[in-house]
Each structure stands twice: as C-alpha cells, then as structure tokens.
Amino acid sequence: MRCYVFPGQGTQKKGMGRNLFGRFPDLPRRADRVLGYPIEELCLENPERRLSETVYAQPAIYVVNALHWSAAQEDLPPADFFAGHSLGEYSALFAAGAFDFETGLTLVRRRAELMGQVSGGAMAAVIGVSEQIVEETLKQHDATGVVIANYNAPEQFVLSGSREELARIKPVFEKVEGVRGFVPVKVSGPFHAPAMAPAAARFRTLLAAVDVGELRTPVISNVTGRPFGSDAQEVRALLAEQITEPVRWTDCIRYLRDAGVSAFTELGESKVLTSLIDRITIAQEAAPDVRRDLIERIKREILQPEIGDEALGFDEHASFRQLGLNSIIYVRLARRAGTVLGVPIKPDVIFQHRSCAALADYLLTRDDVAGAAAPEARPAPLREYQDERVTALLRDCANGTLGVDRTVEAIRALA
C-alpha cells in the first residue's frame, strides 16, 4: 500500500516550486485571485524575506504542495492514504477531496493570519532523547509554560512556549545525556500549544461555514493519529483542535504501517518527513523480541542483584524512584550494566533513563550496544569525529532532517 505525505511550515525556501509553476499555470493564477498578490513571485524571489513570516509561508507551502500533487496525479500511481504534517494536513485533505483548491487556500490563509497574531512565543526541536526524558526535564526545571508540540519521531520532539522559557531551558537540555541538539524552528509563534487557543476559537467559527466533502482517500489526523471520520463536523473540529493540540506524527506513521503501508512518498520541497518516517520505521521494525529481551535482562541481571526479586515484577514503564534508590545504588547499577552489556555506562544514564523500558530504548540506540556498524564502516567525513553528538548531527544534516545552518548552530552550541 502507498501513502503520499505533505510537509508543513518550516520547509519554505526561496525558489520553491520553480519547476512546477510553468507546468501548471492555472493553479498560481487561481491562488493569486484568492491571496491578492503573486504567489509565484513570493516563492521564487522571496521579496523582503516574506517567506519567514507565517502569514506568507503557510499559503506558499500549500500552493507548492498542490503543484506537487498535480504532478503526482500525472506521474505517480494512486495513493491508498494521505497524511500531512501540521499545515500539510490541508494539502492532504485537498488531495482527498475534502474541499477544492480555493477553499483550502482560503482556510490556510486565514489560519496563518490568526496564528501569526499570537506573539511572544517560539518553538525548538530536541533531538536524541526519549519523550520521557523530555517530559521529566521540563518538569524538573519548572518549565510549566513549555509543552511538546510535535512528536516527530521516537527521539525527536518539538517544544512550544515563550521565547524566554525556551531560552532558559536551552542550556539545560544541551547538558542532558544523549541530547544531540536543541534547534530553533522557523516559525513565528508557539504553535500547537494552549497559547494558540484564541486563534483556534476564531478559526472554529470560520470552519463552521465551510462545506467539507466526503474523502475519496483516507487522511490521517495529526490530532488523533487515526483516519478522519466521514462526518464533516468531525473534520472541522479536528482542524480547529490541531492549532492547539500536538502533532502526533509518530502515531500517524505507526498507524499507517500497521495498516499495511510500505511505500511513503513525500510531495513537497523537502525530504524532512521522509527522514522522520525512516526513523519511525526503523524503531518500529526493530525486532520486538530484542527489546523485550533487553528489558528482561535489565530486570534480571541489573536490577534484581541490587534490589531483590521485586525487580522481576516491576512495571517496565515505572520510574526507578518508586524503588527508593539512592545515589550509591545508581552507581552500582551503572557498573553492573557495564559488566552485563560489556560497554561503559555512566550512573547519570541510569538516573536519566529511570525505567526499564526507557533504559532499554536508550541502549538500543547506542552503536556499541545495538550492534550497529563499527566506526570504520561509517562514511569518511563522519569517522574522524569522536563526539557521538556531532556525528549524529552530521547524519541528521546528511539525511535532510536538519539544514546546514541549523546543524552548524547546534555544533557550535555543543562546543
């Protein structure tokens, strides 16, 4: 089965759609009538750097996604599913027949205007650690105004909150074991967070007057990670909720894979979603017995000798804190883990990944534990770097997850 996916905000760049405007001239003409300005000029020339502004970026991405969809209809086989990341969900719904091009663009334009009116916030990606560590770090440092806005991959999350709070916790996350980057996202507000509630309320009023047709192809909702239902009111409600609710991209892809999708094609100007899908797929395809066996080994060979038989029945997702462990026990657990697994492990790792499942997931991402390729087998440009965080950032740059500027910024932050 096949799924076409559409990217969202953050993928905009000067020159986007260059090879498609001339191929499908009717779409930009129709877009110009809706927007009141020349969309081709905006995308190809980026006058006054307007693509950095939400109010221009979102319509531009929607139009270029529509151009790619037009090309796909001529060049590619039909899809069994559609999905879009955040703003990209409107492109997916347009492709599925929920509304026509002009209606979708009108919605996107108004959505961008409303979201752009919410000021004082920002977003940043945390790369390299689990959801549990992200949540615990936010809680430990009282970052109550910061939430996870995007669940992009098992070890990539986007935070949303005030600029001040994100600036405050940036150095905190950069010191967390396993974090490979804390990277600003190219948006102008705290999207997919409670702060967007006023925008969502106004947008809900607009949606109430929009006709939503029956979907010809299933579309996966960012809010639920499941297909939109056939009820038009449900579609409207989920589109309004999406402004304040997190994008559950990992859940979307896992659902699609469980539904039998084996081929994903990204229609747009980037390969960011392709990279995220690859990460999600690798994590999902990892032999479940390997993970299960590692969790059982942690219980049996690492925890049990230190705390007794209670370890064998301990909930794999429960925090070690429930066992009343002190710092000396964490040191012993780290030593025992190093002996059992044959690799050095710091007590801080046990402390930060303090459940059997979280510790297993972390260990399975380590080359020396998971049996990944030896350094000699890696590409030459990566081999010379001894800092694993730098190596991981370079990989993210090579596969399109991070742009060059963001990679350089993240490496400088590490330094």
Q: Which of 284, 304, 328 is the last residue of a domain?
A: 284
Residue with tokens 């479940």: 288
Please check whether residues 4 and 94 belong to one and the same domain: yes
Residue 272 to residue 403: CA distance in whole angstroms: 10
Strand 219-220 versus strand 147-153 pairing type: unpaired
Supply the pLDDT for residue 186. Answer: 75
Supply the pLDDT for residue 197. Answer: 95
Please indicate, yes or no, if residue 378 is contained in any of the structural domains.
Answer: no
Please check whether residues 331 and 356 belong to one and the same domain: yes
Supply the pLDDT for residue 340. Answer: 86
Supply the pLDDT for residue 374. Answer: 33
Please indicate, yes or no, if residue 372 is contained in any of the structural domains.
Answer: no
Please indicate, yes or no, if residue 380 is contained in any of the structural domains.
Answer: no
Please check whether residues 322 and 309 belong to one and the same domain: yes
Residue 63 to residue 67: CA distance in whole angstroms: 6
Cβ distance 30 to 102 under 8 Å? yes
Kindly compute the dihedral angle of the four CA atoms of residues 159, 164, 165, 166, in this order, to the nearest 10 degrees: 30
Please check whether residues 260 and 230 belong to one and the same domain: yes
- Strands (E) across 254-296 are located at 263-266
- Strands (E) across 31-108 are located at 81-84
Rg of the chain over all Cα atoms, to the nearest angstrom: 23
Residue 146 to residue 190: CA distance in whole angstroms: 9
Supply the pLDDT for residue 268. Answer: 86
Please indicate, yes or no, if residue 376 is contained in any of the structural domains.
Answer: no
CB atoms under 10 Å from CB of 122, counted, come to: 20
**What separation in angstroms does the CA of 179 have from each of 62, 107, 361?**
32, 37, 14
Identify the CATH number of the domain in which residue 313 sits.
1.10.1200.10
Please check whether residues 195 and 92 belong to one and the same domain: yes
Please check whether residues 21 and 111 belong to one and the same domain: yes
Please indicate, yes or no, if residue 172 is contained in any of the structural domains.
Answer: yes
Q: Which of 68, 70, 85, 86 is catalytic?
A: 86
What does the buried/exposed string (b/e) look like for 222-237 if buried means 16 or more CB atoms within 10 Å of the residue's CB?
bbbbebbeeebeebbe
Please indicate, yes or no, if residue 379 is contained in any of the structural domains.
Answer: no
Please check whether residues 176 and 300 belong to one and the same domain: no
Please check whether residues 168 and 202 belong to one and the same domain: no
Residue with tokens 């794999």: 316
Please indicate, yes or no, if residue 268 is contained in any of the structural domains.
Answer: yes
Cβ distance 10 to 61 under 8 Å? no
| Closest alpha carbon to 9 in 164, 212, 178, 222 | 222
The tally of domains found in the chain comes to: 4
Please check whether residues 273 and 239 belong to one and the same domain: yes
Supply the pLDDT for residue 371. Answer: 47
Identify the CATH number of the domain in which residue 165 sits.
3.30.70.250
Please check whether residues 64 and 198 belong to one and the same domain: yes
- Strands (E) across 140-190 are located at 147-153, 156-162, 181-184
The whole model's pTM is what? 0.71
Please check whether residues 214 and 77 belong to one and the same domain: yes
Please indicate, yes or no, if residue 373 is contained in any of the structural domains.
Answer: no
Q: Is 192 a catalytic residue?
A: yes
Please check whether residues 76 and 109 belong to one and the same domain: yes
Q: Which of 192, 270, 275, 353 is catalytic?
A: 192
The tens place of each residue's pLDDT in the chain, 415 residues long, gives: 999 999 999 889 999 999 999 999 999 999 999 999 999 999 999 999 999 899 999 999 999 999 999 999 999 999 999 999 999 999 999 999 999 999 999 999 999 999 989 888 999 999 999 898 999 999 999 998 899 999 999 889 999 999 999 999 999 999 998 898 999 887 778 999 999 999 999 999 999 999 999 999 999 999 999 999 989 999 999 999 999 999 999 999 999 999 999 999 999 888 899 999 998 988 777 655 677 788 888 999 998 888 888 888 888 888 887 877 788 888 888 888 888 888 888 888 888 787 888 888 888 876 666 543 233 333 334 333 456 567 667 767 766 666 676 777 777 666 5
Q: Which domain holds residue 127?
A: 119-183
